Amino acid sequence: MQTTHHFIDGRMRPASDGQTFDKRSPVDNHLMGRVARGTRDDVDAAVGAARSALRGEWGRMAVDKRVAMLHAVADGITRRFDDFVAAEEADTGQPHHVIAHAFVPRGAANFKIFADIIKNVPAESFAMDTPDGAGALNYAIRKPKGVIGVISPWNAPFLLMTWKVGPALACGNTVVVKPSEETPATATLLGEVMNEVGVPHGVYNVVHGFGPDAAGEFLTRHDGVDAITFTGETRTGAAIMKAAADGIRDVSFELGGKNAGIVFADCDFDAAVEGIFRSAFLNTGQVCLGTERVYVERPVFERFVAALKARCEAVRHGRPSDPQADYGPLISQEHKRKVLSYYQRAVADGATVVTGGGVPAMPDELAEGAWVQPTIWTGLAETAAVVQEEIFGPCCHIRPFDSEQEVVELANANRYGLSTTIWTENLRRAHRMAGAIEVGITWVNSWFLRDLRTPFGGAKQSGIGREGGVHSLEFYTEMRNVCIKL
């Protein structure tokens, strides 16, 4: 039985007390292996290694060399592409095409893009007058913040972890990563790549384990951590914010969503059906940017519901290795219980179940997996739990609307504000909607189309701050002003 270790100071290490926890497969619930269960001592060791690395070769490294090293990390990921894909498929159970074509390539891209940005970022400067007429020159320099605590979720584990680690290292910081307990493999594998390409020991560290009163909380409360970047649930963000407040540490949060997809009657109908299908059901609905509320203009409502139903009923559940399969399980039994409880809640609240609502029939060898059916509801009030709360599963509620103003009010009547996807051929309307919907990211006639230079993050309870492009540099560097009297 294989054990996934921590990666601390360039070495694979078991937990200080030898404890592990089990990792089970989402596909069939078999015991895949064990994972080191991080202790306070493990977190201390990782933070200590990260602090020492800041004072060592990494802290003194010329930017050009650091940039070259991050490109080498990206190339190292590409060289070991099949290993990353296999590790992520095993941890998440998601189809090969999702992992190999979308999620793992983004891991490499996340290092390249920020390596390139850091080389080209302009500096701010102001010439000023002084009473003696000699003048003074102000200029700002960017310094790394120090040791960054990275806490990441399970839904696209490698993409989301490297989305933080890439810019943190590009800016000259060191990191201690606490990946989700559900998806430990790729974080440790990245440690191997770091060593292969010669990243100094202690720059990249990984401690596995759980959140509350465990490795996650030990990290967020550690006084050797200078800033915390987190992706996960909003209520976890609240707990981390309290921990960060004690040390007056900066936070960057990418949190939950309950995103609205909006389909106008003038849309390209087939594109809209496919786009909403992807946004609601990709990765078995486990995407923070995903659509769980769909609003369709009344003239095309019935046709749209029928088309999305047909699309859902065409999915083929199966293992990542099954070439006939295009649809994976949820991440865990625990998450399956949560999603199915929402399926029951919808029925209790009076939903019409258009399709799904339960567990698909699976062959015996997969019967214990975390499978659920893609599910569509109609007919619920906006106050219903499945319309208001983030489920993070393959499901959506569809409701008709009659005017632009009505749909703006419906879309905005939620505590989250992460993203929206709008389908219309009317460009003026698209601009108006983009200005009116209260979210961090608006896609028009597309979804999850990512340019990594753009600001990424959520409004309302979907996040704090923006990452992406130069916005990541704002978080991962400390700006210092230098004033020189001439």
- Residues of the shown chain interacting with ligand NAD in the complex, contacts defined by CB under 6 A: 151-155, 160, 178, 180-181, 210-212, 216-217, 220, 231-233, 236, 239-240, 254-257, 288, 390, 392, 418, 458, 462-463
User: Which of residues 148 and 307 has its CB atom nearest to ligand 6OD in the complex?
Assistant: 148
User: Which of residues 237 and 357 has its CB atom nearest to ligand 6OD in the complex?
Assistant: 237
By a kind-dependent CB cut-off of 5 to 8 A, residue 217 interacts, out of ligand NAD, ligand 6OD, none, with ligand NAD
Q: Cβ of residue 155: shortest distance to ligand NAD, in angstroms?
A: 5
By a kind-dependent CB cut-off of 5 to 8 A, residue 301 interacts, out of ligand 6OD, ligand NAD, none, with none
Q: Cβ of residue 340: shortest distance to ligand NAD, in angstroms?
A: 16
By a kind-dependent CB cut-off of 5 to 8 A, residue 450 interacts, out of ligand NAD, ligand 6OD, none, with ligand 6OD
N- to C-terminal Cα distance for the chain? 68
User: Which of residues 263 and 287 has its CB atom nearest to ligand 6OD in the complex?
Assistant: 287
Q: How far apart are CA 159 and CA 23, in angstroms?
A: 20
Q: Cβ of residue 132: shortest distance to ligand NAD, in angstroms?
A: 52
Q: Is the C-alpha dihedral spanning 337, 338, 343, 345 positive or negative?
A: positive
Which residue is catalytic, options 254, 297, 390, 467? Answer: 254
User: Which of residues 202 and 463 has its CB atom nearest to ligand NAD in the complex?
Assistant: 463
DSSP letters for 281-324: HGGGG--TT-EEEEEEEGGGHHHHHHHHHHHHHT--B--TT-TT
Which residue is catalytic, options 88, 89, 217, 288? Answer: 288
Q: How far apart are CA 265 and CA 243, in angstroms?
A: 48
Q: Cβ of residue 477: shortest distance to ligand 6OD, in angstroms?
A: 19
User: Phi and psi dihedrals of 399, rounded to 5?
Assistant: -135, 140
Answer yes or no: are the C-beta atoms of 257 and 288 closer than 8 Å. yes
Answer yes or no: are the C-beta atoms of 176 and 225 closer than 8 Å. yes
Q: How far apart are CA 275 and CA 296, in angstroms?
A: 13
Would you call 288 a catalytic residue per the annotation?
A: yes
User: Which of residues 54 and 151 has its CB atom nearest to ligand NAD in the complex?
Assistant: 151
Q: Cβ of residue 162: shortest distance to ligand NAD, in angstroms?
A: 13
Q: Which residues bind ligand 6OD (CB under 6 A)?
A: 155-156, 160, 163, 287-289, 450, 456
By a kind-dependent CB cut-off of 5 to 8 A, residue 320 interacts, out of ligand 6OD, ligand NAD, none, with none
Please enumerate in sequence order all residues whose Cβ is within 8 A of that of 472, keeping only pairs 6 or more positions apart, or say none: 114, 117, 167, 171
Answer yes or no: are the C-beta atoms of 38 and 6 closer than 8 Å. yes
R_g (Cα) of the chain, nearest Å: 23
Bridge-based pairing of strands 204-206 and 174-178 is: parallel
Q: Which two tokens stand for residue 71?
A: 């490109």
Q: How far apart are CA 190 and CA 183, in angstroms?
A: 13
Residue nearest to ligand 6OD (CB): 288
User: Which of residues 275 and 463 has its CB atom nearest to ligand NAD in the complex?
Assistant: 463
Would you call 254 a catalytic residue per the annotation?
A: yes
Q: Cβ of residue 279: shortest distance to ligand 6OD, in angstroms?
A: 11
Answer yes or no: are the C-beta atoms of 9 and 185 closer than 8 Å. no
Beta bridge partners of 143: 478
By a kind-dependent CB cut-off of 5 to 8 A, residue 163 interacts, out of ligand 6OD, ligand NAD, none, with ligand 6OD
By annotation, the residues acting in catalysis are 254, 288
